[in-house]
Each structure stands twice: as C-alpha cells, then as structure tokens.
Structure 1
Amino acid sequence: MWTQLPSALARWLTTKGHEAEHVADRQMATASDKAIWDVALQSHAAILTKDEDFAQRKILIEDGPVVIWIRLRNTRR
C-alpha cells in the first residue's frame, strides 16, 4: 500500500510485474494511519511511505506489516 506517494508510482510498478496498490485505490486516501496499518497487516501488504509515523510505529510494534520508509526530500507527488 502506498501513502504520501503518487498513485502513478503504484501503477508503474504494476506494469513492471509487481503487485502495488495506492491507498486511494481502496478509497482510503483520508484514512487514519491505524486504518491503513490494519489493512496492510490483514492483507499481508507492505507499506511504502514518506510518513515517518509508520516507520516509528514499526519500531514499536514488532509484528506489524513491512514498512518501507522513503526519505527523499522535495519530491513531487
């Protein structure tokens, strides 16, 4: 699942043979971090995000979903 990154990136990864889905694809664009976390956990999905909150949460909750924290500055959505 993708948060704070462009949905076009998820679509591009899909064309390259990867399974990728943006939160907006699930009508979760305004969902809380907890709701996104829970869906990722239930569906065995990784969270790819620019949001430090997910990375911090992963440190505290060992059995949560995989979190990939993108730390690029000033990227366009």
Structure 2
Amino acid sequence: MKAGRLLFDENLSPRLPTALSDTFPGSTHVRVVGLKGASDQTIWEFALKAGFTIVTKDDDFKSLSLLRGAPPKVVWLLVGNTSTAEIQQCLLRYFSTIESFIAEPTTSLLILRKS
C-alpha cells in the first residue's frame, strides 16, 4: 500500500525519502529540489504547487497550517532529538493515519508523536 508524496523539511534527514520510497513513492527532501536554506514561505509555496505534504519538526509550519489551512498539508513530528531510523519507524507505524489524513480534504495538520 502507498500513500501521498511527502516533502521532508531541512530539519529531517535527506535519507528519509529513499528509505521510505516503497511506502511514500515520489517523496523528496527540500535539499533535492533546490530549497536548502529557503524560507518556510518558499517551501510552503513549492509544496502547494507540486502537491506535496510537508513533513517537519518545525513548529513554524504548524503555525502556517493553522493560519492558512490546506493545501498543502503538514505532518508535524513531535519526536524530540531522535535518530533517522526512529523517525522512519514512526512514519511507517502511522502509515494508515498519514494516508487517511492526506486523503481527507480539509484537515491541514497532523501531529505525530513517538510512541
């Protein structure tokens, strides 16, 4: 089973899109699309135009999501300082939740916690 395309923010490992390519095909990292060091607004606009869901640990995107609504959608990871492997496992564990969130048209923010 596969879900929508994710855009990983700069605060997450650029290895995540490859590691999760079977589950989240077409996902990418901001560095790969030339947005390293870009403003949150620029990343937001890119995700909006390209149809990505933003995955981040940055609460600025949470604020943008609550202010502007979807699209794009935002998956906010409340996981603290943790390994890339643990973030990968978290995203896999919540796959069906993420898939439902992306498919639902109006909800703009999904908060995931490490369990």
In the superposition, the TM-score normalised over structure 2's length comes to: 0.62
Structure with the largest fraction of strand: 2
- State the match for 2:102 in structure 1: none
User: With structure 1 as the length reference, what TM-score do the two structures score?
Assistant: 0.89
Runs (4+) of structure 1 exceeding 3 A deviation are: none
Aligned residues: 76
Q: What's the % identity of the aligned pairs?
A: 32
Partner of residue 45, structure 2 = 38
Residue number among 16, 21, 32 corresponding to 1:25 in the alignment: 32
The structure number with the bigger radius of gyration is 2
Where does 1:1-77 land on structure 2 (aligned, <5 Å)?
1-3=7-9, 4-14=11-21, 16-18=22-24, 19-76=26-83
The DSSP-based 3-state class of the residue aligned with 1:31 is coil
Look up the SS of the partner of 2:12 in the other structure. coil
Q: Which runs of 5 or more structure 1 residues have no equivalent in the other structure?
A: none
The residue identity in structure 1 corresponding to 2:8 is W
Stretches of structure 2 that go unaligned for 5 or more consecutive residues are 1-6, 85-115
Higher relative contact order (CA 8 A, sep 6+): 1
The C-alpha deviation readout for 1:29-57, integer Å capped at 9, x for no partner, is 11000000000000111000000100111
Cα distance in 1 for partners of 2:50, 2:72 equals 9
